[in-house]
């Protein structure tokens, strides 16, 4: 495989920050940039010579600017305006997280809403089976994303209970 393979950056438009941040974190890890985004560029007090220390700082600064550039390129113009003045990738990431990220309270609220939606799902007679299954599995997968594991046995039991009764004509 080509080492310089072009990867398309996930585009963040202000919605679904959690999903975008997972994709970006993985991409930044693959490029060996996540440590810079997460921890920033720190002044290291090591036993290196002044010249070695300057080279190391320059190397880390280039990594930081590469990560910042990737973050800037992975957002729409309206979102970019929020991070335009960020001078480091860590600062840009923290701004996006503060402005769009989900707090524990928001995650809990979403989980409660998903559980309510899951418990109220019923297939109506006019619904198509495959469409109902898609909606059902979307709710289940979103619940898993937020950390709520529904045992397979419960999934199947609830699924069959929520299907409309089958009408069988006797001849």
pTM for the whole structure: 0.69
CA-angle at 70, arms to 66 and 71, nearest 5°: 120
The pLDDT of 84-93, averaged and rounded, is 97
Over pLDDT 70: what percentage of the chain? 91
The pLDDT of 13-40, averaged and rounded, is 94
CA distance 139 to 123: 14
CA 100 remoteness from chain centre? 11
CA distance 80 to 167: 56
Lowest mean pLDDT among 7-11, 38-42, 77-81, 146-150: 146-150
What are the distances in angstroms from CA 3 to CA 7, 30, 64, 69, 71? 11, 12, 21, 20, 21
Examine the pLDDT at 2 and tell me if it is beyond 80: no
What does the pLDDT look like over 115-155, one tens digit per residue? 899 888 888 878 888 888 898 899 988 888 888 888 889 98
Examine the pLDDT at 13 and tell me if it is beyond 60: yes
Query: Can you give the pLDDT at residue 50?
Result: 85
């Amino acid at each position: 495989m080509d080492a310089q393979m072009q990867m398309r950056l996930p585009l963040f438009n202000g919605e679904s920050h959690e999903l975008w941040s997972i994709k970006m974190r993985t991409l930044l890890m693959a490029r060996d940039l996540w440590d810079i985004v997460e921890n920033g560029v720190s002044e290291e007090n090591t036993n290196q010579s002044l010249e070695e220390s300057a080279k190391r700082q320059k190397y880390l600064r280039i990594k930081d600017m590469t990560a910042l550039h990737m973050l800037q390129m992975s957002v729409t113009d309206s979102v970019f305006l929020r991070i335009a003045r960020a001078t480091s990738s860590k600062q840009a990431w923290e701004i996006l997280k503060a402005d769009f990220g989900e707090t524990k309270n928001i995650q809990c609220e979403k989980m409660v809403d998903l559980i309510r939606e899951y418990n109220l799902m019923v297939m109506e007679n006019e619904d198509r089976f495959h469409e109902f299954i898609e909606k059902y599995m979307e709710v289940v997968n979103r619940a898993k994303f937020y950390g709520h594991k529904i045992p397979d046995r419960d999934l199947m039991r609830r699924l069959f209970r929520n299907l409309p009764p089958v009408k069988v004509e006797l001849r």
